[in-house]
Amino acid sequence: MQNVEEIYRQYFSVVYKYLFCLTHNDNLTEELTQETFFKAIKSLNSFNGDCKIQVWLCQIAKNLWYDELKRKKRYKSLEEEEDNLIAIEDTEMIVIENENRRKLFENINKLDNTTKEVMLLRINGNLSFKDIGEILGKTETWARVTFYRGKQKLKEVEKYGKERTM
């Protein structure tokens, strides 16, 4: 078993990206990341190695995020969060990039919650299909197929403006 410092150094970035993917808020992400590692350190003895450490940490992070949502008793839409994220700079390239990213997230927000979560974990969290499957309690193949179907749905959303029932 790795020591606490090694775990923190090695997995901080993964946990941070995962939480940022969920929260879209730097301050909240930082706070929840620290809380995740605090909670993990307290319960390190209960980690039995059934999954990767990063998956275990992301599960802790996800539960903390859900707790935070319950405390606030509201869910912010993806567009509201995105407005808090994007600071528009003067270069034309960045403006075009941001517009494309905004459209992508708008379209992802039109998908069902499960597909949306898989898409965001893959795109923002940069997680493997295996890790996504483990985090969501499914298989790697399920995550891969859900992502593929999500891409197909995004094409329909882009073409028709909303998700069509299949």
Instruction: Encode pLDDT of 119-164 as tens digits.
Output: 888 888 888 999 999 888 999 999 999 999 988 988 887 777 655 5
The tally of domains found in the chain comes to 2
Tens-place pLDDT, residues 60-110? 998 898 888 887 765 555 545 555 554 434 444 555 666 777 788 888 888
**Residue 79, in any domain of the structure:** no
Cα-Cα-Cα-Cα dihedral sign, residues 100, 106, 111, 112: positive
| CATH number of residue 114's parent domain | 1.10.10.10
- Range of the structural domain that residue 39 is part of: 4-72
Is 78 contained in some domain?
Answer: no
Percent of the chain clearing pLDDT 90 (strictly above): 17
CA 59 – CA 41 distance, rounded (Å):
14
In this prediction, residue 81 carries a pLDDT of 54
Residues 67 and 91 in one domain: no
DSSP code of 165?
A: P
Rounded Cα gap, residues 33 and 60, in angstroms: 10
41, 4 Cβ separation under 8 angstroms: yes
- Examine the fold and report which residue of 49, 72, 95 is the final residue of a domain before the chain moves on: 72
Decide which of 28 and 162 is more confident: 28
Candidate from 2-6, 24-28, 89-93, 161-165 with smallest mean pLDDT:
89-93
Return d(Cα 158, Cα 166) in angstroms, integer: 16
Task: Please identify which residue in the block is written with the tokens 């494309």.
Answer: 100
Structure tokens at 21: 């993917």
- d(CA 154, CA 80) in angstroms, rounded, equals 20
The answer to whether residues 94 and 147 belong to one domain is yes
Asked whether residue 15 falls in the same domain as residue 56, the answer is yes
What is the structure's pLDDT at 50? 80
pTM score of the predicted model: 0.49
Which CATH number do you get for residue 18? 1.10.1740
Clarify whether residues 46 and 109 are in a common domain: no
Residue 59 CA to residue 82 CA, distance in Å, equals 24
